[in-house]
Structure 1
Amino acid sequence: MDGLPSREALAAALAEMAAGRPARALPTLRALAAASPGDAAVQLNLGMALMDAGHLAEAEAPLLAAAQAAPQHPEPCFRLARLRHLRGDPLAAESFYRGALARAPGHVASLAGLAEVARSLARPEEAVSLLREALLHAPQDAGMRLALARALVQSGQAAKALEELALPLRVGGPAGRLGAVWAEALRARHGVEEARARAEEEARAHPLCAARAAGLAALCEAEGRGGAALSAWRAAEALAPEDPDILAGLAQSLARHRDHAAALDAFERALALAPDEPGLRVGRGEQLWRLHRLSEAAEALRAALRDFGPDERTRATLALVLVSQGLQEEAMEEAEAAGGENALLLGLTSVGPYHPEAGRAEALAGRARALHQRLSEGLLPYTAPPPRAEGPLRLGLLSAHFGKHPVGWLTVAGIENLPRDAFEVDVFSLGDRPGDIAARFRARADAWHLIEPGTPDAVLLERLRAAQLDILIELGGHGQGGRVRLLRHRAAPVQIKWVGSQASTTGTPNIDWMLTDRWETPEGFEPFYTERLLRMPDGYVCYAPPPAAPPVAPTPAGFSGAVTFGCYNNLAKVTPRVLAVWARILRALPEARLVLRTHALGDGPTREGFTARARAAGLDLARVEMHGAVPHDQLLAAYGEIDISLDPFPYTGGLTVCESLWMGVPVLTLVGSSFAGRHAFSHLSNVGLADWAVFSEEEYVAEAIRRASDIPALAALRAGMRARVAASPLCDGPRFGSNLAAVLRQAWEGRDGPA
């Protein structure tokens, strides 16, 4: 405190808080609180500064101390109420708000807070009454008027809400919040389309009004006009660059457009203005994850849980971050803690399949059945289009991955080889996807429907149904950008799941078939799926090798005399059991090396944690190379550094297997029971290399040692590998297209058969 007397020190800290710099006030306030634990003013201001700086977990103790030291003062009770509200406990917040009002019946902020609790608990009429009382005490409070308008909308009084908003729109107010409430009121009064048209007209008439621009952005999003929404958010930001709600809207829009670096910047600017907003904290963590800054993401999300308490979205996102770091056990714990539908989805698709136990087919099937039951509630009625007497079937494809993505590489050759006289193809692309693969889909498509980012489910369902499809293939699953859950309401007489987060069954009602093959789902696997199994005669995918792939390099062991193993899969797939098996292989082959490449290893703390786990598993780190992400062409070239790819388990490689084989490198895989556990087995079998698939860890170790001991055989296999793969059904587009046409016709003709 630089020798300042305590009152002067407190005044200096209060000045920092008043200037919007609560973090700079904290050292002084902490010191004062330690010196005077019974000083109500010090404890209260310490609690307030902690809240304003976003340290909610620490704020409760000083606020409780202030309430005890000043039992008649309303402010500690109000701050405790606000704290509990932010941490997701509205009933406790309500009690503290009422305590503040008991001490000061006209405490305006407590009346407003109590109204917000009432609104969140679906008691809008009570909220309206409380806010009208608050406005008697503070008639010029713009924020209060906005809260009243929102409560009026919720209570079915949209016209009155618009009347309340006329004054703030004319004289100004918190632009982001004003725009959001105005958009809500317009939608409730006029419907989405007319509301958006009115907002456009208002925005043109008032081009310098940030609130109207923000409201227009929200209405464009509600109508599925993601590009127009982003433009409107940028206009609002230009007019009000320090409005946290506008920055939050911009950040979310950028995230939907996959501009994660720009979204992170917007989230961080918003957080600097509103550090106690939980949605901003979680949004920032999500963008850090998307940018592969995994350790930062994990810490940001853990801090949000500490400050705001248990939250499904935060825990679900943290589970995704942890599994990306290769922490399967910790990820499953967070997934289970998320609870509800999130726990089922994470356990079924994004976390469970990577876990040695939860990834078993029986465990996944149990989650799928529970999800199926949950999603079977409230299904919307569906009327099928009139049956076609003749002519081609109308086939729809729905995905966010028609560009440079594994889905595109594994499906485009099959789609473009479907006979044109038998199938019309409608592509519903969730976002505009550039590149050669997208161009190939466009060339085959009879109709191309661009679905803008953020399009609401109701709007997308209407567009799908309006197309009067016969068959709809979903290519996204429950993963990033996937909309498979929407299809529980049915958009076509026949609905099929294919590729795209196809780790197991979807557990989604009205998904009729899973496109598969005899290796992925042999006879007897039917109980593990909520869909019927539509088996292709060869493999279930058709690989489109990249035209610019470098030539196959000679086997490195031919020069070094010792085999180099490699794994270029995501760290999520590398479990402790995988590390232990790899350690056994390297111990048996003292000259062998192992090369790992994945984006997660480019994150320093994640790499350190993985290194510690690898060392604990017995891996000789002097013989292990670890690399982060590189551009795709460099990744393909890096297969020239390895002789054998070691496939992880229980979630095996998919596209990585195809790429490894194309680059001449055979893949050793351990076959599991789930769909994800049999990807590599399917691809290897499809190219005539089923003998590289084993069924136990003992066999995996023995086969790796045996193969590594015959370098001439490896060299011979490598020399003919690309020609083998090119000539196999894995890359035979015309053959696959003909087979796909046959099974699609089978699904169409069996649409009324038993489920």
Structure 2
Amino acid sequence: MTETTSAAPQAALQPIAELLERGRLAEAETHAAELRRRFPADAQTLRLHAIALLQLGRTADALAALREAQHLAPRSIEILCNLGSALLAEGDAAAAVAALEQAFALAPAHPAVSNGLGNARRATGDLAGAIEAYRAGTRAAPDYPGTWFNLAAVELALGDLAQAERDVRHALTLVPGHPEGLLLLGHVFAAQRRHAEAEAAYAAGARAAPRDARFPYQIGLMAEEQRKFALAAEAHAHALALDPNLHHALGQLVFLRRQLCDWRDLDALSANLRARVRAGAPGIAPFGFLSEPADAAEQLHCARNAARDVEANAARLRERLAFEPAAPAADAPLRVGFVSNGFGNHPTGLLTVAMFESLHALRRDGHGLQVELFATAADDQGPIRRRLCEATQALHECSDLSALALARRIREREVEILVDLRGWGGGGVGEALALRPAPLQVGWLAYPGTSGAPWIDYTIADRVVLPDVLRAQFSEAVAWLPRCFQPSDPSRAVGDPPPRAGCGLPEAGVVYVCFNNSYKINPAAFERLLAVLRGVPGSVLWLLSGPDRADERLRAEAQRRGVDAARLVFMPKLPHAEYLARYRHADLFLDTAPYGAHTTASDAIWAGCPVLTVAGATFASRVAASLNHHLGLPALNAGDDAAFVDAAVRLGGDAGARAVLRAELAERRRDSGLFDMSGFAADFAAVLHEMSRRHRAGERPAPIG
């Protein structure tokens, strides 16, 4: 016989609550459904049934039950809180806020209501409102650590790092050793660039939760920041052992192995990484992926996978911020912002400083741009930083800003075109640009590939480094310069190096040089270099020293492949002027693949050392080829590996040919326009003006040039 009373007895409800508490969800759902048939008008039965349904992933059924319960008990705090949770799970954050604000009006001192309201507001992008709700929760229940942790997380997102640290530390006094709290504390330290302290916090978290792969992954990131590459690789390998589906740990491990020249199982690891990218795995860093033997389509896929997560996180906040600048008048000055962590003694600063000076000269003549720089790294007090400050309308110090604060700073300056000189290099720039602080956003120079990001409208390139055949693998509209896309600083003096013996070089013999970073030297590229040494007796290969015994590994590998390890000479990292002078001892620069020389190739050419390369099938593999083409020495762009080795061996055996080539390079360097920064600035400004013209006319981004 079916009961008809409207309220279920507490004795019937208690077993369902106990089953839910013990995680026996299917049993709880079955019992609740049966009780619901017996007491169809009981709000508490509906609520418990909804909780079981929600935890089983049946969100729509849970919502229906909660709506019915709300109709029966419209002032029930518990039902409104559960409804807010279900709406959040369904992705309707605005409706969740409405339900929880109704609960908050009924019970402003209820900690669960305040915490839930904070979560819902946070999901809509209302970070200030979330802070307000969480603080109300901490006042209502000062001993509840969850609200303190949530409060600190939002303070971290807003860039209030000191307050975030105080609040997370306070929460940890309530629950010492809490894994989530230690993870958050590590994030706060990392945001303050206190990498050793962040590593220690993550290590404490790992001790508290030894099966949680997030902790060794974060330890690996912090170890890498401190240039402890071997330790970082071990940490990522441990993270993968705990969670084989932690895709970003695999990406970091493969890239670290390449930096360490540790090629154990590298082919299998790389194949696994590429397969995950093709399958749409999130979190794999696009920058590291450029070193993989992948084609341009795979690189686009990797970038889009990464951009998808950033875009999803930014969408709500971007909608709330509503950065919608008024369209400038057709004759209004063009204000261009450049954002980078490299505005100093850094490859980006070294490449761009003379170009910015030339743009400044154009502006004095009435034809230039209003240029502002947004520096995401601290002032290094060096000469490049000073020159950049003098050459631009403003240089904004942004190293301590969160992604949101950086976006707001850019928006406040009413930048019309924002040029990203960071790309997928980390540091929160992508998160800031995803908020759309400028109406037009452009990728250029620092990241040699597609962003895959909907917030980047154009990429600036040239037709050698990015030919038409690659255009379909770029998410951006391409703006082609009529010259090499890479600027340089022709004011640099190339001094005299120490004697050969002082550089570790033999007194005689051909010196081949490859000062590319160690992650660009893979087994195939190394074999190509060794083939040249085998063909030229007495020659040596001069390399940049790598991290954590990378040099030893390369020497051992050379010996294993039949080349005397003594023929490899390693140069430590040196101040730029000292490094540049070393090229005077070099006869020929030998490039790598698939990630070739970029700034290093330009340095070598400027210092008088010819660069031999093979133009590959990706942007990252074609930069040296573009430099040679625009220099007027296309013969240095070999057709394939065999032609590369033949050319290097031929030049190594012919001192006269090397002298002729060096003289021709000096002449071409002077006359070709490759290092003409006045011309570069004029062409660059023209491209930006065309972007602006189209935008002001209401046209969508489209190829230029």
TM normalised by structure 1 equals 0.67
Give the aligned residue type for 2:477.
Answer: R
Tell me how far apart the structure 1 counterparts of residues 510 and 544 of structure 2 sit (CA, whole Å): 17
CA RMSD in angstroms comes to 5.2
User: Is the counterpart of residue 532 in structure 1 residue 473 in structure 2?
Assistant: no
Tell me how far apart the structure 2 counterparts of residues 227 and 727 of structure 1 sit (CA, whole Å): 55
Tell me how far apart the structure 1 counterparts of residues 306 and 149 of structure 2 sit (CA, whole Å): 37
Give the aligned residue type for 2:478.
Answer: L
1:560 counterpart SS class: coil
Is contact 1:553–1:640 with CA below 8 Å preserved after alignment?
no
Tell me how far apart the structure 2 counterparts of residues 248 and 376 of structure 1 sit (CA, whole Å): 24
Q: Which residue of 2 aligns with 1:674?
A: 618
Is contact 2:556–2:565 with CA below 8 Å preserved after alignment?
no
Cα 1:243/1:426, change in 2 over 3 Å = same
Within a 5 Å distance, the mapping from 1:352-751 to structure 2 comes to 353-356=290-293, 358-359=294-295, 361=296, 364=299, 383=324, 385-418=326-359, 419-420=362-363, 421=366, 422-436=368-382, 437-451=384-398, 455-456=402-403, 464-465=410-411, 467-481=413-427, 483-484=429-430, 490-502=436-448, 504-509=449-454, 511-522=456-467, 525-544=470-489, 550-551=495-496, 560-599=507-546, 602-604=547-549, 610-611=554-555, 613-626=557-570, 629=573, 635-636=579-580, 638-639=582-583, 642-711=586-655, 714=658, 725=669, 729-751=673-695
Is contact 1:554–1:719 with CA below 8 Å preserved after alignment?
no
Deviation at 1:570, TM superposition (A): 2.0
Cα shift readout 1:311-367 (whole Å, capped 9, x = no counterpart): 23333333333343455634533423545786488596432x3234x13x4654676
Is contact 2:403–2:428 with CA below 8 Å preserved after alignment?
no
Give the aligned residue type for 2:226.
Answer: L
Deviation at 1:283, TM superposition (A): 0.2
2:604 counterpart SS class: helix
Tell me how far apart the structure 2 counterparts of residues 632 and 149 of structure 1 sit (CA, whole Å): 61
Structure 1: which 5+ residue stretches go unaligned? 1-77, 83-92, 103-113, 130-146, 170-178
Give the aligned residue type for 2:522.
Answer: T
Cα 1:236/1:635, change in 2 over 3 Å = farther
Q: Which residue of 2 aligns with 1:305?
A: 240
Cα shift readout 1:401-428 (whole Å, capped 9, x = no counterpart): 3333322222232234223344222333
Deviation at 1:468, TM superposition (A): 3.8
2:472 counterpart SS class: helix
Deviation at 1:395, TM superposition (A): 1.2
Structure 2: which 5+ residue stretches go unaligned? 1-18, 32-49, 66-80, 90-95
Cα 1:726/1:96, change in 2 over 3 Å = farther
Tell me how far apart the structure 1 counterparts of residues 213 and 52 of structure 2 sit (CA, whole Å): 16
Give the aligned residue type for 1:336.
Answer: R
Is contact 2:137–2:147 with CA below 8 Å preserved after alignment?
yes
Cα shift readout 1:652-686 (whole Å, capped 9, x = no counterpart): 10111122334443322122132111111222344
Tell me how far apart the structure 1 counterparts of residues 138 and 159 of structure 2 sit (CA, whole Å): 19
1:354 counterpart SS class: coil
1:250 equivalent among 146, 168, 185: 185
Tell me how far apart the structure 1 counterparts of residues 157 and 309 of structure 2 sit (CA, whole Å): 26
Q: Which residue of 1 aligns with 2:72?
A: none
Deviation at 1:289, TM superposition (A): 3.0
Q: Which residue of 2 aligns with 1:66?
A: none
Give the aligned residue type for 1:650.
Answer: P
2:460 counterpart SS class: strand
Give the aligned residue type for 1:733.
Answer: M
Deviates more, 1:312-321 or 1:334-343: 334-343
Tell me how far apart the structure 1 counterparts of residues 544 and 105 of structure 2 sit (CA, whole Å): 57
Deviation at 1:577, TM superposition (A): 2.0
Tell me how far apart the structure 2 counterparts of residues 305 and 486 of structure 1 sit (CA, whole Å): 29
Deviation at 1:609, TM superposition (A): 5.1
Tell me how far apart the structure 1 counterparts of residues 83 and 344 of structure 2 sit (CA, whole Å): 44
Percent of matched pairs sharing the same residue: 26
Deviation at 1:585, TM superposition (A): 1.1
Cα shift readout 1:430-475 (whole Å, capped 9, x = no counterpart): 3544343344444344355555667356x65565555443222122
Is contact 2:459–2:476 with CA below 8 Å preserved after alignment?
yes
Q: Which residue of 2 aligns with 1:272?
A: 207
Cα 1:365/1:435, change in 2 over 3 Å = same
Give the aligned residue type for 2:446.
Answer: G
Q: Which residue of 2 aligns with 1:51?
A: none
Cα 1:97/1:580, change in 2 over 3 Å = farther
Tell me how far apart the structure 1 counterparts of residues 666 and 379 of structure 2 sit (CA, whole Å): 29
Is contact 2:285–2:306 with CA below 8 Å preserved after alignment?
no
1:221 counterpart SS class: helix
Cα 1:151/1:746, change in 2 over 3 Å = closer
Tell me how far apart the structure 1 counterparts of residues 615 and 474 of structure 2 sit (CA, whole Å): 18
Deviation at 1:389, TM superposition (A): 3.1
Is contact 2:277–2:301 with CA below 8 Å preserved after alignment?
no
Cα shift readout 1:119-157 (whole Å, capped 9, x = no counterpart): 695969989x9xxxxxxxxxxxxxxxxx99996996847
Deviation at 1:749, TM superposition (A): 2.7
Aligned length: 622
Is contact 2:149–2:171 with CA below 8 Å preserved after alignment?
yes
Cα 1:319/1:640, change in 2 over 3 Å = same
Cα 1:587/1:739, change in 2 over 3 Å = same
Deviation at 1:248, TM superposition (A): 2.7
Is contact 1:475–1:498 with CA below 8 Å preserved after alignment?
yes
Within a 5 Å distance, the mapping from 1:187-226 to structure 2 comes to 191-193=126-128, 196=131, 217-226=152-161
Give the aligned residue type for 2:237.
Answer: R
Deviates more, 1:524-533 or 1:182-191: 182-191
Deviation at 1:371, TM superposition (A): 8.3
1:521 counterpart SS class: coil
Deviation at 1:398, TM superposition (A): 2.8
Is contact 2:247–2:282 with CA below 8 Å preserved after alignment?
no
TM normalised by structure 2 equals 0.71
Tell me how far apart the structure 1 counterparts of residues 675 and 300 of structure 2 sit (CA, whole Å): 31
Q: Which residue of 2 aligns with 1:333?
A: 271
Q: Which residue of 2 aligns with 1:173?
A: none
